[in-house]
Structure 1
C-alpha cells in the first residue's frame, strides 16, 4: 500500500502536533546536560526541517534508518527563529520501497529534466555559429553517461537548485543571463561565454550523489566540481583538433574562475570579460533562486524569512506591484496549443545552509 502524505513541511507551524511521514536524510548523536540526544533532518518534496529526539526517548534508538521513509510523531517549535521538531516517536515505514510514492519525498524541478536538456541542446545549436564549438557541445551533451547524470543531478547539496533537475535548471538560466549580458557588450566573445555557461557546473554531476541525501561523493569531497568538470571535458578538448588552442585555454579559464574568488574555491580569479560575466551570472542565478525558495515557502501571513547564515541576513517578502487588468479574448478568438503540459507544482526546499565546498 502506498504511503500517503497529509501535510508538507512548509505547512507546519510552531505549536503544531505532528504525525507524518518524511525521509530521514541525516542523523547524528550529541550529548546534552540531561543525556544523549539525536539531531535529525527530515525531508519531503517541498522542504526540509531539523528535529531533535531528547533523552530519555533518544536512548530507545541505538541507531536510526537514514535514507528511509519514517513516521514521526511530536510537536513543532521555534528554536533561534528556525522551525524545529521535538520528536517523541520515530519508526521506519514498512511499506515496500516500490510501493512508496517517492514524488512526495524527493524535491524535483518544476520542469522535466528531459525537456530542459533538449532545450539546452537547441540553444547551443541556435546560438553557436562556430562549427567546432557546435560539434564540441553536441558530442558532450549526447554522451550517454554525461546525459544520464545531467538528467538527475541537483544544482547543489542544500543551497540553490538543490533538487532533481536543479543542475539543468541552473545551467539554462546562467546561459540565458550570459547571452543577455553579452548583448549589452558587443566586444564580448558570445560563443565561448555560452559554452562556458553550458559546462561551468558540469562537475556537479560527479560531485554530488543524486540520491535521497544528495551527499558529496568521494571525488566531490577530494576534488570539487570545478576540477571534476575540467577532467570530464579534457578528453573532448584533446580530440577536437578544429578548436584553436587559444579557445580551449579560454574555456578552461572560464570554468576555473567562475566562483570568482579564492575564498569560494575558485582556482583562478576571472581575468577576461567573459569570465567576469560568467561569474556574476552564476552567482546572480544562485542567489535569486535561494531567495525565491525561501520567500515562497513562507506562510501567507509571514513577511520575513528565518535568518540565513549563508548570506548573513533575513529576506523580506515585499508587496508586489499590481498587474494591469487585461480583457480575456472572446471564446471564438482563442486558440490553444494542443499537448501543452503544465509543470507548475510546489516543491522547493525551505532552508539554505552553507555547503562545505563554497557557493555558486
Structure 2
C-alpha cells in the first residue's frame, strides 16, 4: 500500500491523503457535538488532526499506535498546521503488517551502528580507572540493554524523539563533556563522562518506543532519573567502584535536569554535575533547533512558530558566506599579503 502524503509536505490550504500512525487520540465536546483530537505521525514528523461531528460519531474508539488511512484538508490553527479529517479508515492487522515501517517511524539521521561503535570506542579510550571501565562494559555487554539503548527515543517530543534518539543524544553529550573536561582540567573527567554516558539511561524503561512511543507506567510514576539509578545498581555492585564515586555518579544522574521544577531530584551540587547539566541542555536545544529549521523548508520562511518549550519563536539567521580558499584560516599568505601584514605590524609598533 502506497504511503501517500508525508507530514513534512503538508502545507496550509492543501489536501492530504496518506498513511499515518495515531500517536495520540482523545475525544472532546464542542457546541456541534463530540469530536476527536488526534496526533498523526510518520517518518517525517507529526501534526494535529481533528475529526468533527458527524464523522466523529462513527468512531467509538481510535487506538493509539494504530495505522490509519486519513484524508482531509490542512489549515492553520495557532500558527500550527492542523488537518481537518474528512475520511479515516483504520488498517487491519494484515494491512498494517504490509506497510513499510520505515515510512512511519522517524529515525536518527545518523547510522545507529556507527554511533554505537564510536561511543563504545570512546568509553574504552576514556575510562582508565578499572572500575569505571568495568561498569561501562558490564552494561553494554548486556545484549538486551545494548539493543534497547540503540533504538530508544530520547523523548516523546521536542528533541531526539525518534528511533536512535537516545544513542544520538548520549553521544552528543559525551562529546561535549570531553571538550568541557579539556577546557577545565580541574574536573573529575572520568566521573563526568560516566555521568554523560548514563544520565538518560533510564529512558529505556521510561518510553515504550515503537510506532506509538509513549510513557510507560513506571516512566510516569518514577521517571528516567530514578529508573536510571535503579538499572545501574546491579552493575555498580559488581564494578568495584569506590563508594564515593558511586554516590557522585548517582548525583549526576539525579540532578542533570538542573532545577526541581524541570524534574531534577536534586539541584547540581558539584562542578561535574553543573557541567553535565549544561552539556545535556545544550545538546537538546541544538537538536530542537535543527528539527525546527528543517521544518521551515522553503527560502524566505525564517521564523518558526511560537515554541512553548522555549517561550519564543526562533529565527533562522543567514550564514556567513564561505571564504575563498586563499583567504581561509591556515592558507599560506601571498607575497603581497605578507608585505602588507609586515607593514601593518610595523605601524602598530610605532604607535
Question: Fold-level match, TM-score > 0.5?
Answer: yes
| 1:11 and 1:299 in contact (8 A); partners too | no
Q: Which residue of 1 aligns with 2:133?
A: 134
Q: Which residue of 1 aligns with 2:173?
A: 174
Q: Which residue of 1 aligns with 2:215?
A: 216
Q: Which residue of 1 aligns with 2:338?
A: none
Cα distance in 1 for partners of 2:61, 2:233 equals 44
Deviations 1:233-271 (A, max 9, x none): 111111222x22111111111111111111111111111
Q: Which residue of 2 aligns with 1:191?
A: 190
| 2:73 and 2:83 in contact (8 A); partners too | yes
| 2:50 and 2:85 in contact (8 A); partners too | yes
Output aligned runs, 1:252-271, within 5 Å: 252-271=250-269
Instruction: Give the C-alpha shift of residue 144 in structure 1.
Output: 1.8
| 2:4 and 2:17 in contact (8 A); partners too | no
Tell me: CA distance 1:133–1:320, structure 2 relative to 1, closer, same or farther (3 Å): same
Q: Which residue of 2 aligns with 1:59?
A: 57
Cα distance in 1 for partners of 2:25, 2:16 equals 19
Cα distance in 2 for partners of 1:262, 1:240 equals 30
Instruction: Give the C-alpha shift of residue 4 in structure 1.
Output: 2.0
| 2:208 and 2:214 in contact (8 A); partners too | yes
Greater Cα shift, 89-98 or 198-207: 89-98
Aligned residue for 1:115, secondary structure, equals helix
Greater Cα shift, 268-277 or 244-253: 244-253
Deviations 1:19-74 (A, max 9, x none): 22211111111000111111011001010000101111211222224312211111
Q: Which residue of 2 aligns with 1:305?
A: 304
Q: Which residue of 2 aligns with 1:14?
A: 12
| 2:132 and 2:239 in contact (8 A); partners too | no
Root-mean-square deviation (CA, aligned residues, Å) is 1.4
Cα distance in 1 for partners of 2:294, 2:320 equals 17
Cα distance in 1 for partners of 2:138, 2:184 equals 29
Cα distance in 1 for partners of 2:96, 2:10 equals 26
Instruction: Give the C-alpha shift of residue 146 in structure 1.
Output: 1.1
Q: Which residue of 2 aligns with 1:143?
A: 142
Deviations 1:282-331 (A, max 9, x none): 0111111112101111131311111111111111111111223459xxxx
| 1:15 and 1:76 in contact (8 A); partners too | yes
Cα distance in 1 for partners of 2:58, 2:258 equals 48
Aligned residue for 1:236, secondary structure, equals helix
Instruction: Give the C-alpha shift of residue 105 in structure 1.
Output: 0.5
Tell me: CA distance 1:257–1:104, structure 2 relative to 1, closer, same or farther (3 Å): same
Larger helix fraction of residues? 2
Aligned residue for 1:316, secondary structure, equals coil
Cα distance in 1 for partners of 2:117, 2:297 equals 35
Deviations 1:112-161 (A, max 9, x none): 32322221110100112112211111111111221121022100111210
Cα distance in 1 for partners of 2:95, 2:32 equals 37
Q: Which residue of 2 aligns with 1:44?
A: 42
How many residue pairs get aligned? The number is 324
Greater Cα shift, 85-94 or 163-172: 85-94
Aligned residue for 1:96, secondary structure, equals helix
Q: Which residue of 1 aligns with 2:204?
A: 205
Tell me: CA distance 1:132–1:110, structure 2 relative to 1, closer, same or farther (3 Å): same
Q: Which residue of 2 aligns with 1:322?
A: 321
Cα distance in 1 for partners of 2:192, 2:294 equals 32
Cα distance in 1 for partners of 2:135, 2:3 equals 45
| 1:21 and 1:72 in contact (8 A); partners too | yes
Output aligned runs, 1:111-122, within 5 Å: 111-122=110-121
Cα distance in 2 for partners of 1:104, 1:196 equals 34
Higher relative contact order (CA 8 A, sep 6+): 1
Cα distance in 1 for partners of 2:60, 2:209 equals 28
Tell me: CA distance 1:326–1:61, structure 2 relative to 1, closer, same or farther (3 Å): farther
Q: Which residue of 1 aligns with 2:349?
A: none
Cα distance in 1 for partners of 2:43, 2:323 equals 34
Structure 1: tracts of 5 or more residues without a match:
328-360
Question: Is structure 2 residue 310 aligned with structure 1 residue 294?
Answer: no
Instruction: Give the C-alpha shift of residue 200 in structure 1.
Output: 0.3
| 1:201 and 1:226 in contact (8 A); partners too | yes
Structure 2: tracts of 5 or more residues without a match:
327-351
